[in-house]
């Protein structure tokens, strides 16, 4: 009897291990690619284009300096080849410093180099180590992409407006959906499908003209009006689901004690729905923040942040390590919000089905 128990224990332990093995594999598949992009965003330009790509950024960079044909020969230690590779031969110290900053990601001044050259008198070659500036790509991204900061602000405006429009208009309809029976209720529900059936890109073009007529073209409000179309439909579902989760009897109780329907909603239902609505707002944020294609078509001189990141990727100046840094910056708010949203999945999606 007790040996059977032991066997069962072992069996269950094995099952458990298998289960966690599956889970861990899945985790690797999911975050593996993300890991490489994060890592890429910390790599120096030289390493970002090397093969095999280093898994982790170097914390320090080891240099070798000696006399070269044109002046001084700078070599840098390659972690993969495990030897010093010559990278620059020049007598222009300014150029060398710039090279060490932008290509190799170390903060070096001309004085630093002069100090090393002085050492060449005693020993040749000289070796020295510099701390890698891990945030180099991030600072560079914001320096060389002129539009980065204004576009970031613009994107935030667009998201705020999109949330405002879709949560107010969609939220009202969602409340009606949750609390009332009315003609057109099914139409409202299925509109979430309808508005997705027509290719978004095909709507963007006529929208240029419509927005231009309204004077909203190339302005944040214009884009948020477009984003809100798809968002409202989802917001109706999500808010309806949230309101369904709050018993109507709570409102009725308030009404019995003398509140109007509106007061009951504002004082009872809204505070209870607030966390769920916040999650819905964040969900709307994800869509508006990440959208790039309509933004490309509907902006001209005032791009969104996603457009700026996109252009840093495809543009002539594109460097994948810089683009990766831009992408990571872009992902910071969305990932943060996702962390919050995950607790409200049931509230957001549990109520409404076709």
Q: How far is the CB of 285 from other proteins (least distance, A)?
A: 10
Tokens standing for 94? 């300014």
Q: How far apart are CA 277 and CA 286, in angstroms?
A: 14
Whose tokens are 């560079």? That residue is: 140
User: In whole angstroms, what is the distance from residue 295 CA to residue 26 CA?
Assistant: 33
**What is the bridge-based pairing of β-strands 126-131 and 60-67?**
antiparallel
Which of these ranges, 32-40, 63-71, 122-130, 133-141, lies near other proteins under the rule CB under 8 A?
Answer: 32-40
Residue 335 sits in the site that holds other proteins (CB under 8 A): yes
**CA 351 from centroid of its chain's CA atoms:** 28
Interaction pattern, residues 152-191, with other proteins; x per rule: CB under 8 A: -------------x---xx-xx-xxx-xxxx-xx--x--x
Selected from 225, 254, 264, 294, the binder of other proteins by CB under 8 A is: 225
Please select the residue that binds other proteins; options are 201, 253, 256, 274, rule is CB under 8 A. 201
Cis peptide leading into 287, omega within 30 of 0?
no
Residues 6+ apart with CB under 8 A from 151: 302, 303, 304, 305, 307, 308
Q: Which two tokens stand for residue 203?
A: 């709507």
CB of 330 to other proteins, least distance (A): 5
Residue found under tokens 């709307």: 284
Min CB(297)–other proteins separation in Å? 8
Question: Toward other proteins, which CB reaches closer, 266 or 339?
Answer: 339
Q: Which is nearer to other proteins, 125 or 245 (CB)?
A: 245
286 part of the interface to other proteins, by CB under 8 A: yes
Q: Judged by CB, which is closer to other proteins: 100, or 176?
A: 176
Indicate the residue among 37 and 110 with the shorter CB distance to other proteins: 37
Q: Residue 197 interacts with other proteins (CB under 8 A)?
A: yes
- Of the two residues 115 and 212, which places its CB atom closer to other proteins in the complex? 212
* Bridge partner residues of 78 (DSSP): 83
Report 233-272 residues binding other proteins (CB under 8 A): 236, 261
Q: What is the DSSP string of 172-195?
A: HHHHHHHH---TTHHHHHHHHHHH
How many CB atoms lie under 10 A from the CB of residue 304? 29
Q: Which of 110, 117, 203, 221: binder of other proteins (CB under 8 A)?
A: 203
Question: For residue 303, how many other CB atoms are within 10 A of its CB?
Answer: 22
Interface with other proteins includes 30 (CB under 8 A)?
yes
First to last CA, the chain: 52
334 scored as a contact of other proteins (CB under 8 A): yes
Sheet bearing 72-78, strands edge to edge: 83-90, 72-78, 60-67, 126-131
The yes or no reply on residue 56 touching other proteins (CB under 8 A) is no
Residue pair 74/63 in contact by the 8 Å Cβ criterion:
yes
Please give the helix or strand (H or E) that residue 85 lies within, else none. strand 83-90
**Smallest gap, in angstroms, from Cβ of residue 105 to other proteins?**
18
Number of residues that bind other proteins (CB under 8 A): 95
DSSP state of 166: I
Q: Does residue 199 interact with other proteins by CB under 8 A? A: yes
Quick check: 299 binds other proteins (CB under 8 A)? no
33 binds other proteins (CB under 8 A): yes
Q: Which is nearer to other proteins, 48 or 65 (CB)?
A: 48
Does 345 interact with other proteins (rule: CB under 8 A)? yes
31 binds other proteins (CB under 8 A): yes
For residue 263, the SS3 value is helix
Q: Which of 17, 18, 19, 25 binds other proteins (CB under 8 A)?
A: 19
Listed ranges 90-98, 141-149, 196-204, 272-280: which one lies at the site for other proteins (CB under 8 A): 196-204
What does the alpha-carbon distance between residue 276 and residue 347 come to, in Å, rounded to a whole number? 7
């Amino acid at each position: 009897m007790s040996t059977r128990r032991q066997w069962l224990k072992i069996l269950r332990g094995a099952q458990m291990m298998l289960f966690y093995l599956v889970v861990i594999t899945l985790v690797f598949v999911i975050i593996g690619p993300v890991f490489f992009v994060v890592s890429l965003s910390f790599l120096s330009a030289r390493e970002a284009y090397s093969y095999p790509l280093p898994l982790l950024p170097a914390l320090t960079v080891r240099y070798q300096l000696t006399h070269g044909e044109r002046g001084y020969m700078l070599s840098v230690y390659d972690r993969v080849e495990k030897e010093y590779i010559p990278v620059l031969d020049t007598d222009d110290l300014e150029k060398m410093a710039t090279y060490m900053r932008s290509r190799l990601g170390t903060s070096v001044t001309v004085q630093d180099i002069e100090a090393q050259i002085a050492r060449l008198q005693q020993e040749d070659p000289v070796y020295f180590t510099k701390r890698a500036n891990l945030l180099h790509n991030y600072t560079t991204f914001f320096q060389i992409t002129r539009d980065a900061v204004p576009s970031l602000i613009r994107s935030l405006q667009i998201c705020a407006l999109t949330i405002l429009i879709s949560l107010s208009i969609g939220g009202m309809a969602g409340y009606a959906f949750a609390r009332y029976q009315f003609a057109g209720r099914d139409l409202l529900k299925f509109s979430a499908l309808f508005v997705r059936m027509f290719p978004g890109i095909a709507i963007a073009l006529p929208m240029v003209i419509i927005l231009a007529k309204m004077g909203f073209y190339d302005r944040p409000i214009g884009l948020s009006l477009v984003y809100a179309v798809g968002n409202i439909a989802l917001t109706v579902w999500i808010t309806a689901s949230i309101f369904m989760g709050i018993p109507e009897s709570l409102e009725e109780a308030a009404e019995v004690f003398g509140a109007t329907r509106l007061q009951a909603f504002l004082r009872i239902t809204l505070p209870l729905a607030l966390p769920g609505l916040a999650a819905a707002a964040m969900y709307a944020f994800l869509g508006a923040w990440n959208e790039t294609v309509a933004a490309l078509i509907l902006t001209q001189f005032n791009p969104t942040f996603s457009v700026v990141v996109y252009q840093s990727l495809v543009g002539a100046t594109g460097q994948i390590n810089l683009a990766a840094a831009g992408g990571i910056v872009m992902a910071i708010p969305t990932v943060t919000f996702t962390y919050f949203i995950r607790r409200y999945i049931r509230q957001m999606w549990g109520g409404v089905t076709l």
